[in-house]
């Protein structure tokens, strides 16, 4: 019973490590310690079934503690009864936790291996579960363990192997730490071999890491990032939130003096054909001449062709630019099969949106190539990487437009900021973020937040952003191979471990 309680506590600490409730910052050391606790518990398990249960409890607590704020969107803004909202959040966490339960079961079953290979197996199975969460059933990798290391010593690996590669190395280190709790470990050569192997891999990755340079710096671009703080329960209401949004964002767009002004996701909350007479025409005329441009979040489409969650770009002497969101949110932007009964119970403005393509062209302005992504699309670095296959057309700046207002004043705002920071480290590209309620910020190509607005306030963040052109190793291989190298690494280690286990079992029947 104690081991089950410890698994739950360790899982909650893993959630805290992504963005601490007291300051919103990642705690890399806590991620290692909590994962080490899981490694120790699984090693003590009497059977693979017990190991699976421990892994499932750990992951369920971790994931529930990470995205508990989904309750706010489902119950507070969606109108779903509180009990059903709790069940929905727990159900999602419990389902995703099954990946980690399977990983722990396989690790426990292959108990005939020791030393560094055992540490590799733990790290590989951990990464395998993380990759499954990225890919399967449209993917929901929010809160992956690697995000805890955006400020830690492992952050230097981001331009090489990305967030999931960092997770693999963290798994190695965590397993080495877990061995400290085993009786006689300090006298065992196997422990020191595992520890030396993990340290050696970390040192090799650090030696291969790119030095911190100017990343092919480009001329600076002045920006104005709009944060309207429109109340979420009024945002799509015709008598309150819609006129407020149209008035405030309209005035900021018309009055901005920055070279680029960015308005967040659905800052204009209605279709262009539903706008007051002359409103859209005035916007396009505003940026049809002069030396200013705008990127604006707005829904597009119609009944016949379908709808998209989009960003339009306006600049002098060019047709209207359009970016359509590719990675849609389940239940919010598309309804999975057999779940219409569930969405009918909520009053969130739902719909089955059309998906945009992967690798859409960037918005070119003043020598910069600006690549929009909408809301949690910046969670999928492998999809952003598609734009980096050709260095001549690769983005120089990422632009995230979001509306995290669905989740209130919660840790979701801080978690999303850490996700964006990880993308800037992986690609060595700055990111500017315009959001409805936060975090509206400018992040440089080193992952540092150079400017930001207070959350849940209405304001304009003005500053400068410096684009970059270097192609990191991660951007190079992910743009061509996707996440397959990581999948194959995890699978290769698991196959090797299974073979060694079989050989040992045959020798000692």
Instruction: Please give, one letter per residue, the 3-state secondary structure of 173-204.
Output: HHHHHHHHHCCCHHHCHHHHHHHHHHHHHHHH
Q: Is the pLDDT of residue 189 over 70?
A: no
Q: Check residues 252 and 180 and name the one with the higher pLDDT.
A: 252
Distance separating the N- and C-terminal Cα atoms of the chain = 32
- pLDDT for res 239: 81
Q: Helix (H, G, I), strand (E, B), or coil: what is residue 260?
A: strand
> What whole-number distance in Å separates Cα of residue 389 and Cα of residue 480?
6
> What whole-number distance in Å separates Cα of residue 373 and Cα of residue 358?
11
Q: Is the pLDDT of residue 201 over 80?
A: no
DSSP string of 100-149, one letter each residue = HHHHHHHHHH-TT--HHHHHHHHHHHHHHHHHHHHHGGG---TT-GGGGG
Q: Is the pLDDT of residue 252 over 50?
A: yes
Handedness of CA 331, 333, 337, 341 (dihedral sign): positive
* Paired tokens of 306: 């379908």
Closest CA to 171 of 486, 422, 483, 501: 486
> What whole-number distance in Å separates Cα of residue 225 and Cα of residue 294?
10
Render pLDDT for 156-178 as a digit per residue (tens, 0 to 9): 999 999 999 999 999 999 998 88
Q: Is the pLDDT of residue 508 over 50?
A: yes
- Contact call for residues 73 and 412 (beta carbons, < 8 A): no
Residue 333 C-alpha from the chain's centroid: 18
> What whole-number distance in Å separates Cα of residue 300 and Cα of residue 280?
13
Q: Helix (H, G, I), strand (E, B), or coil: what is residue 464?
A: strand
Q: Helix (H, G, I), strand (E, B), or coil: what is residue 221?
A: strand
- pLDDT for res 210: 47
- pLDDT for res 80: 82
Q: Helix (H, G, I), strand (E, B), or coil: what is residue 492?
A: helix
> What whole-number distance in Å separates Cα of residue 357 and Cα of residue 328?
12
- pLDDT for res 438: 85
As a whole number, the mean pLDDT across the chain is: 88
> What whole-number distance in Å separates Cα of residue 247 and Cα of residue 215?
40
Q: Which contacts of 430-433 are long-range, i.e. CB under 8 A and separated by 24 or more positions?
A: 430/397, 430/398, 430/465, 430/466, 430/467, 430/468, 431/378, 431/397, 431/398, 431/399, 431/400, 432/223, 432/225, 432/262, 432/397, 432/398, 432/399, 432/400, 432/465, 433/225, 433/399, 433/400, 433/401, 433/402
Render pLDDT for 106-157 as a digit per residue (tens, 0 to 9): 999 998 777 788 889 999 999 999 999 999 888 889 999 999 999 988 999 9
> What whole-number distance in Å separates Cα of residue 393 and Cα of residue 387?
8
Closest CA to 496 of 126, 125, 42: 125
Backbone Cα Rg of the chain: 24
Size (the chain), residues: 509
Task: Return the bridge partners of 431, or none.
Answer: 398, 443
Closest CA to 83 of 438, 345, 464: 345
What domains lie within the chain, and their CATH numbers? 2-210+483-507 (no CATH), 220-471 (3.60.110.10)
Q: Check residues 15 and 404 and name the one with the higher pLDDT.
A: 15
> What whole-number distance in Å separates Cα of residue 293 and Cα of residue 368?
12
> What whole-number distance in Å separates Cα of residue 69 and Cα of residue 97?
18
User: In sequence order, which ranges of 372-445 are alpha helices (DSSP H)?
Assistant: 381-384, 412-427
Strands 459-466 and 220-227 come out as antiparallel
Q: Is the pLDDT of residue 97 over 80?
A: yes
What pTM, to 2 d.p., does this model score?
0.91
- pLDDT for res 337: 55
Lowest mean pLDDT among 54-68, 167-181, 312-326: 167-181
- Contact call for residues 446 and 468 (beta carbons, < 8 A): no
Measured at the alpha carbon of residue 330, what is the angle toward residues 67 and 135, in degrees to the nearest 5? Answer: 80
Render pLDDT for 345-401 as a digit per residue (tens, 0 to 9): 555 565 667 888 888 999 999 999 999 999 989 999 999 999 999 999 999 999 999
**Averaged over 419-438, what is the pLDDT?**
96
**Averaged over 469-479, what is the pLDDT?**
96
Q: Check residues 380 and 74 and name the one with the higher pLDDT.
A: 380
The angle, 0 to 180 degrees and rounded to 10, between the axes of the packed helices 2-18 and 28-44 is: 160
- pLDDT for res 417: 97
- pLDDT for res 340: 55
Catalytic residues: 265, 325, 375
Q: Is the pLDDT of residue 195 over 70?
A: no
């Amino acid at each position: 019973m104690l081991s089950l309680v410890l698994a739950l506590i360790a899982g909650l600490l893993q959630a805290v490590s992504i963005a601490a409730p007291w300051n919103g910052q990642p705690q890399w050391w806590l991620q290692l310690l909590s994962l080490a606790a899981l490694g120790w518990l699984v090693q003590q398990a009497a059977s693979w079934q017990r190991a699976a249960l421990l892994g499932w409890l750990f992951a369920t607590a971790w994931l529930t503690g990470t995205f508990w704020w989904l309750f706010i969107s489902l119950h507070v803004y969606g109108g779903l009864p509180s009990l059903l909202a709790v069940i929905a959040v727990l159900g999602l966490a419990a389902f995703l936790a099954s990946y980690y339960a399977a990983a722990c079961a396989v690790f426990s079953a292959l108990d005939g291996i020791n030393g560094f290979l055992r540490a590799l197996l733990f790290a590989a199975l951990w990464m395998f579960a993380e990759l499954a969460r990225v890919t399967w059933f449209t993917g929901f990798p929010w809160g992956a363990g690697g995000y805890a290391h955006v400020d830690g010593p492992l952050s230097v690996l981001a331009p090489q192997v990305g967030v999931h590669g960092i997770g693999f190395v963290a798994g190695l280190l965590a397993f080495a730490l877990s061995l400290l709790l085993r009786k006689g470990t300090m006298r065992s050569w196997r422990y020191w071999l595992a520890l030396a192997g993990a340290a050696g891999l970390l040192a090799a990755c650090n030696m291969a890491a790119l030095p911190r340079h100017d990343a092919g710096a480009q001329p600076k671009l002045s920006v104005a990032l709009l944060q309207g703080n429109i109340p979420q329960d009024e945002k799509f209401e015709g008598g309150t939130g819609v006129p407020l949004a149209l008035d405030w964002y309209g005035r900021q767009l018309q009055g901005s003096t920055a070279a680029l002004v960015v308005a967040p996701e659905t800052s204009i909350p209605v279709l262009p054909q539903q706008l007051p007479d002359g409103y859209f025409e005035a916007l396009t005329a505003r940026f049809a001449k002069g030396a200013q441009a705008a990127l604006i979040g707005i829904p597009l489409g119609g009944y016949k062709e379908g709808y998209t969650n989009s960003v339009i770009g306006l600049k002098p002497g060019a047709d209207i630019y359009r970016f359509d969101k590719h990675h849609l949110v389940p239940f919010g932007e598309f309804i999975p099969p057999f779940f219409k009964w569930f969405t009918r119970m909520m009053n969130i403005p739902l719909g089955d949106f059309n998906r945009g393509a992967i690798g859409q062209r960037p918005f070119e302005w003043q020598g910069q190539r600006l690549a929009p992504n909408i809301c949690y699309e910046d969670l999928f670095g492998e999809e952003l990487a598609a734009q980096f296959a050709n260095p001549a057309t690769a983005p120089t700046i990422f632009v995230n437009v979001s509306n995290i207002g669905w989740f209130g004043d919660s840790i979701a705002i801080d978690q999303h900021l850490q996700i964006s920071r990880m993308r800037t480290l992986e690609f060595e590209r700055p990111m500017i973020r315009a959001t409805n309620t936060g975090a509206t910020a400018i992040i440089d190509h080193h992952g540092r937040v150079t400017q930001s607005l207070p959350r849940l306030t209405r304001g304009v963040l003005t500053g400068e952003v410096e684009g970059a052109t270097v192609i990191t190793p991660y951007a190079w291989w992910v743009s061509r191979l996707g996440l397959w190298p990581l999948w194959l690494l995890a699978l290769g280690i698991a196959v090797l471990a299974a073979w060694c286990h079989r050989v040992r079992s045959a020798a000692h029947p």
